[in-house]
Amino acid sequence: MEDGNTILTITGSDSTGGSGVQADIKTISELGGYAVSVVTSITLQNTLGIQEFYDLPARIVQGQIEAIVNDMQPEIVKIGMVRRVDVLRVIVDTLSRHRPRHIIYDPILYSSKGERLMDDEVLAEIRRLLVPLCTLVIEKRRNRHGAGNAYASAIAVFLSQGESLATAQERAEAYMESLQSRLSGLQGRGQELYSEFLSLLKKHIHTNNDVAYYADRLNVSPRYLAQVCKREGKSSPKQIIDSFLIQELKQALLAPARTLKQVAYDYGFSSQAHFTKFFRKMEGITPSQYRKQK
């Protein structure tokens, strides 16, 4: 089967839908094209960033491409994230034999959060093997996964509709202007969750200084809470909890009527010695020394 509007996208998977094969399919379909896909990598990610990659073996990627091109014969191919040299080589080999009318390459060097997505060896081989096959390589200012992703997909659709390369780029620029607000809106609930975390700390720091407790109260995993705190507060949840706790302890020590033992137990320490050890680690002096200074 051959259809001029069929576009093959070869890239990674993004479970948030903000980029990757999911976004390609969405963009291509929205603009009237028909998307077929080959997945190169599976990611563990959310709106805070990528936690882990699983790069599919080269033979699996090759099998996906051949299954599509032998049957559907797409004339337009859009390539995104390729992280392995052996995967790159099977892509180049298969497309060299298939010879589509246009190959659009969006060099995914960094994620939208700034993570490096390929090493120097892969980049060198891309320049040597893939770039010579391409109709267009998306310019550097768009090479973060997300913005360039949609732009390249839009160009592919307009080329499939018979537009010249120059016209396809102009129409893709116009499309990107309308899309930009939607792309920038993909923020998840990070800011809201961080504010909720700080509010809970103020209420419960006297009795709870365990990260798992706050994650459970917020109905998220400790790992997700750590990602939120890193992005919004530039610190780990434990560092934020300890910072809140030390401020509370310093305030409590200003009340001379409260013994060190009382302060320790009021704030959940198992013993006065445990309290002293924590305070010295945070402040460089013991609670008794701090109280004398004040």
Higher per-residue pLDDT: 43 or 76: 76
- pLDDT exceeding 70 applies to what percent of the chain? 89
Q: By C-alpha distance, which of 106, 118, 131 is closest to 27? A: 106
- pLDDT exceeding 90 applies to what percent of the chain? 54
pLDDT per residue over 232-283, tens digit each?
Answer: 888 899 999 999 899 999 989 988 888 999 999 999 899 999 999 999 999 9
Q: pTM to 2 decimals?
A: 0.63
Q: 3-state DSSP call for residue 102?
A: strand
Q: By C-alpha distance, which of 50, 63, 53 is closest to 90? A: 63
Burial of 273 (0-12, 13-18, 19+ CB in 10 A): exposed
Q: By C-alpha distance, which of 10, 80, 6, 74 is closest to 38? A: 10
Residues 58-83, mean pLDDT to the nearest whole number: 94
Taking residue 101's Cβ as centre, other Cβ atoms within 10 Å add up to 12
* CA dist., res. 23 & res. 12, Å (int): 10
User: What is the distance in angstroms between the CA of the first residue and the CA of the last residue of the chain?
Assistant: 83
Residues 84-103, mean pLDDT to the nearest whole number: 95
pLDDT per residue over 144-179, tens digit each?
Answer: 445 568 889 999 999 998 899 999 999 888 888 766
List of domains in the chain: 6-184 (3.40.1190.20), 190-293 (1.10.10.60)
Contact 47, 186 (CB under 8 A): yes
With 80 as the cut, is the pLDDT of residue 101 above it? yes
pLDDT of residue 143: 44
Q: How far is CA 62 from CA 93, 95, 170, 263, in A?
A: 9, 10, 33, 65
With 70 as the cut, is the pLDDT of residue 2 above it? no
